[in-house]
Amino acid sequence: MKKSISKKIISIVLCGVMGVGINSSLAYADMKSTDIPTTKEELEEWMKNLEIYQKEYEEWCKIPVYDRITENVAKNYDNGRLIEDNGVKLIMDGNMLMQVYTKEPVAELRLPEIVEEIDREAFYVTDFKENAKIYIPASVKKIGNGIVEYAENVESFEVSEDNNYFCEVDGVLFTKDMTELVAYPAMKEVFSYKIPDNVEVLRSCCFGTNINNLNRLYLGSGIKELGLDSFSSALNSSIKQITIPSTCVEISEGLLNNLAFKKVKVVSNSDNIIKNYAKINGLNVMVNDSDKALKGDVNLDGEVTLEDAQIALKAALNIETLTEEEENAAKVNGEDDIDIQSANSVLQVALGIK
């Protein structure tokens, strides 16, 4: 107990004198574990020599982060151990992956079969290249909520076919039975995404804070309720429109307040949202009560506008990808593929010419 308290004292002193973070100073304290004072007298003596410690700490900070990670860091956990392989260091607590450090940015991170659980902050310090992939082995049984919050350069997940607990579809991570969306990678290169109808639960923070491309999110009919943290963390990203089905009967008012604050358009085919949440100041709700999309209504919000023509044009130029429903709405003339003429036809519908 004395040792733990002493570490905290050292951390606070180092933070105050050198303006560094708690974690960094604690890591330094771990490195010098043999010198940690355990009595008041030892602490007073240590403080007299604080200038020496400060210089040592400044020299230590010059060491690359990857090289600082030693067995001493792993010992912060009850069953901590350090595993190093080919420029990757894993901090494990038993069979739970706590942190991943990389010597260089990685395009693909393949977790070893010894990993059975993944902590929500496992990738907090991992250096990924843009459009990176994370491989989940068959051994993984549990994954913490929000693992993508810090993995902003990850484009896709790959899951071993032998894994009995998780799977991926188009790079998105789900539970094996497809009833829970576990993690949507921030760099996934689609502008619109439809959550499968058999998904019932959006795990807390399953959409990260730095989604780069996703503009329109369509929730599947299996989702019955939305909590405050269903995708609030993603509202600082590129998402501009969220479509909520009528099957979703319970929605956190706090979530809708966040949507209003971030000026995200909410589309629903139910009057329920209007009746219950119209009081929320600034909430932009579009009611689309049609079973079939209007021709030209590419973003499926219940009306055809210039925005739909812009989306159709981007699709024609292969700048933007569309969901199947969006594609059908963009094909005003029943054409096989979306082209410039398709975009022109959507524009004419928007202007009331066609």
90 and 43, same structural domain?
no
Mean pLDDT of the chain: 82
Domain tally, the chain: 3
93 and 47, same structural domain?
no
Q: Between 243 and 61, name the one with better pLDDT.
A: 243
166 and 95, same structural domain?
yes
298 and 285, same structural domain?
no
Contact 259, 313 (CB under 8 A): no
pLDDT in tens, 45-78: 767 766 776 777 788 778 888 888 888 888 888 8
Q: Between 17 and 213, name the one with better pLDDT.
A: 213
pLDDT in tens, 143-170: 999 898 888 899 999 999 999 999 999 9
Please report, to the nearest 10 degrees, the dihedral formed by the alpha carbons of residues 8, 9, 12, 14 taken in order. Answer: -110
Task: Sort 92 into a burial class: Cβ within 10 Å, 0-12 / 13-18 / 19+.
Answer: buried
| Domain range enclosing 248 | 71-289
140 and 90, same structural domain?
yes
266 and 124, same structural domain?
yes
Contact 53, 37 (CB under 8 A): no
Q: Given 289, 306, 321, which residue is the final one in a domain?
A: 289
Q: Between 204 and 173, name the one with better pLDDT.
A: 173
Q: Given 249, 271, 289, which residue is the final one in a domain?
A: 289
pLDDT in tens, 98-145: 999 999 999 999 999 999 999 999 999 999 999 999 999 999 999 999
Distances (CA, A) of 270 to 132, 191, 192: 39, 24, 21
Q: Given 289, 309, 332, which residue is the final one in a domain?
A: 289
| pTM flag (> 0.85) | no
